[in-house]
Amino acid sequence: MNVAIIGASGYTGLELIKILITHPKFNISYIANSTGEENVQELHPSLKDVLNIEVSKVNAKEVSEVADLAFLALPHKTSMSFAKQLLELNVKVVDLSADYRLELDTYEEHYCSHEDKEHIKDSVYGLPEYYKNSIKTSKLVANPGCYPTASLLALLPFVDYIEEGTPIFIDAKSGVSGAGKKLSEISHFVNLNDNCHAYNPFKHRHMPEIEEKVKLLKDKEFQINFVPHLLPVTRGMLVSIFATLKDEVNVEDILEDSYIDSEFVRVRNTPVNLKSVAGTNFCDVYVARNKKALFINSSIDNLLRGASSQAVVNANIMSGYDENLGIPKIAYVP
């Protein structure tokens, strides 16, 4: 099955390429970015002697002629105008941007006016552990954000046990690859090395994404208080969630039971870390309790489970393949 990667210049584009090179079913038939006219080896020198394919200047018509499914690793807003064209040309889409992740009104409140109101209502939120059946038949899957992926996988098993009306706090820490390839003050080596700091406390756009999904999946309204931090590491994301339980329940059992059949969620009995999941699609989770105080702890590779490998899992499901087909499980350890 031929697939296209649109937005091949960035980190998530590169990760898509890396996974699809060895995927047993998907064949990369088209790679594009906004400029084209380059070999993928010039764009990503680590691919020298590994993959030899021209990067095209993106064109929806061309995509529809050579691919059945397209991964869009594009900026917000750019993505929806392009997804719209592809869907009208009958190309399935896994969109890694935020453009189809939210209900229309939530999106417009936190991002901008939406340009593809037709398709957003049918998009499926691509968190496979919770939306697998809908993904199977969807033509448009909105790949979750990295913070929501790690946060929701940790939080959802406990939503029913948390005291209603109490705030949920999420202290999230991310490697700087999440800020992308574009040069910026925060990703200047001198500014981040030996350093760590919060940013956009209570204001990050992933906060409403988490709140909305908790409400849709669990029919509970919680105030999610989300504070992201930047870590002096390239890849990896660590989430620490704090909440107040109704009762002193057995939190280990609740967690274990929730993911007993989930191939890509590993329940740990010690706090999780970044390295054990770096390079993989795993989400590691751990939980602890102090009377009614709850600590849930999860880690993912922000570029893989938080973006590209989860996108390929979604594509696997949309295509009727096993969800684990070609999905990386072996960590960048040591």
As measured in angstroms, the least distance from the Cβ of 200 to a copy of itself is 9
Select 72 or 238, whichever has its Cβ closest to a copy of itself.
238
As measured in angstroms, the least distance from the Cβ of 74 to a copy of itself is 18
CB 328 within 8 A of CB 19: yes
DSSP letters for 40-57: HHHHSGGGTTT---EEEE
- Helix H or strand E segment including 252: helix 251-258
Nearest to 262 by CA among 332, 310, 209, 319: 310
Which residues are bridge partners to 231 per DSSP?
175
**Is the dihedral angle over the CA atoms 109, 172, 169, 245 positive or is it negative?**
positive
User: How far apart (Å, rounded) are the C-alpha atoms in residues 40 and 9?
Assistant: 9
What's the Cα-to-Cα distance from 142 to each of 101, 246, 253, rounded to whole Å?
Answer: 5, 33, 31
Q: Which of 112, 146, 196, 283 is catalytic?
A: 146
CB 29 within 8 A of CB 2: yes
As measured in angstroms, the least distance from the Cβ of 49 to a copy of itself is 5
Active site residue 146: yes
Select 9 or 143, whichever has its Cβ closest to a copy of itself.
9
Select 113 or 270, whichever has its Cβ closest to a copy of itself.
270
DSSP 58: P
Q: Which residue has the tokens 């029913």?
A: 160
Select 141 or 162, whichever has its Cβ closest to a copy of itself.
162
What's the Cα-to-Cα distance from 246 to each of 58, 162, 239, 253, 297, rounded to whole Å?
Answer: 52, 5, 22, 16, 19
Q: Which residue has the tokens 């002193």?
A: 248
Task: Name the token pair of 157.
Answer: 């098993």
Select 45 or 320, whichever has its Cβ closest to a copy of itself.
45
As measured in angstroms, the least distance from the Cβ of 137 to a copy of itself is 28
Select 67 or 287, whichever has its Cβ closest to a copy of itself.
287
As measured in angstroms, the least distance from the Cβ of 149 to a copy of itself is 17
How many Cα neighbours within 13 Å face the side chain of 269? 1
As measured in angstroms, the least distance from the Cβ of 118 to a copy of itself is 34
As measured in angstroms, the least distance from the Cβ of 161 to a copy of itself is 15
Q: 10 Å Cβ neighbour count for 218?
A: 15
What's the Cα-to-Cα distance from 192 to each of 196, 204, 230, 308, rounded to whole Å?
Answer: 7, 20, 8, 25
Select 66 or 293, whichever has its Cβ closest to a copy of itself.
293
Task: Name the token pair of 257.
Answer: 């039971």
Active site residues: 146
